[in-house]
């Protein structure tokens, strides 16, 4: 083998090694972005699906007016339920975010009212609220009304004697340009501020902020890592 061929082979080996290092560093950087360590939110008194002593705690910061939250609820949550929540490996808590004004607040108030009166049917109401959300093209149309919220509450809890008068009072705690007189929704808002939530859905798993909550492979890997 002459020197020219040896030099070409050596250069090729170096180039391959450099490419491999670049790819590895990229993967590491992506993993770091997906595994940002944060304070895990306090979930006491929050709606929680799953076993209380489940080893993995998943927290979703969501907004009932948020199209992405609707998509996450329809695409990712069912997989989480099947693989981890129903099997006792994980639990999921929901914290309201109020990014879309009055309708976000009214929906949050309604969900908290259902949780107080009928905690077992909270998640049915939660799912029905997202189902009632219009398509993305109609996102700006007003749809969160007292009448709609009452109708959904009655449909998702047919066997429960829901106190509609009390339910209405809870929804009406929102008054424009006045302090929100709801300890539960105010608590959620304080948690949103404390944890610097800037977009929805934001998902935290055992104190790990998920960079892309729609990437179920990443979500699953994080949960499996925490289970070990």
**Quick one: tokens of 123?**
């998640």
First CA to last CA across the chain, in angstroms? 52
Residue 3: its pLDDT value, please?
A: 59
**Quick one: tokens of 162?**
């829901």
Residue 6: its pLDDT value, please?
A: 59
- Mean pLDDT, residues 160-187: 78
> What percent of the chain is predicted at pLDDT more than 70?
79
Question: Peptide bond preceding 201: is omega within 30 degrees of 0, i.e. cis?
Answer: yes
Residue 170 has pLDDT above 90, yes or no: no
Give the predicted TM-score (pTM) of the model.
0.82
pLDDT in tens, 61-106: 999 999 999 999 999 999 999 999 999 999 999 999 999 989 999 9
- Mean pLDDT, residues 14-25: 50
Residues 152 and 158 sit within 8 Å (Cβ to Cβ): no
Least confident range of 62-66, 87-91, 112-116, 157-161: 157-161
Residue 172: its pLDDT value, please?
A: 80
Residue 226 has pLDDT above 70, yes or no: yes
Per-position b or e across 52-81, b if 16+ CB within 10 A of its CB: eebebbbbbbbbbbbbebbebbeebbeebb
């Amino acid at each position: 083998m002459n020197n020219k061929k040896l030099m070409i082979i050596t250069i090729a080996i170096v180039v391959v090694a450099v490419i491999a290092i670049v790819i590895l560093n990229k993967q590491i950087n992506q993993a770091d972005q997906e595994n940002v360590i944060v304070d895990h939110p306090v979930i006491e008194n929050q709606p929680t699906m799953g076993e209380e002593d489940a080893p993995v705690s998943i927290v979703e910061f969501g907004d009932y007016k948020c199209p992405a939250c609707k998509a996450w609820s329809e695409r990712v949550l069912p997989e989480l339920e099947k693989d981890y929540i129903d099997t006792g490996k994980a639990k999921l808590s929901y914290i309201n975010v109020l990014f879309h004004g009055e309708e976000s607040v009214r929906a949050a108030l309604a969900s908290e009212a259902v949780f107080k009166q009928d905690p077992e049917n909270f998640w049915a109401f939660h799912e029905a609220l997202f189902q009632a959300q219009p398509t993305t093209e109609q996102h700006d149309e007003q749809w969160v009304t007292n009448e709609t919220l009452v109708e959904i509450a009655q449909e998702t809890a047919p066997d429960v004697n829901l106190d509609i008068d009390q339910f209405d009072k809870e929804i009406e705690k929102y008054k424009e340009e006045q302090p929100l007189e709801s300890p539960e929704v105010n608590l959620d808002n304080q948690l949103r501020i404390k944890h610097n939530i800037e977009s929805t859905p934001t998902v935290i798993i055992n104190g790990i902020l998920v960079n892309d909550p729609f990437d179920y492979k990443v979500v699953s890997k994080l949960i499996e890592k925490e289970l070990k």
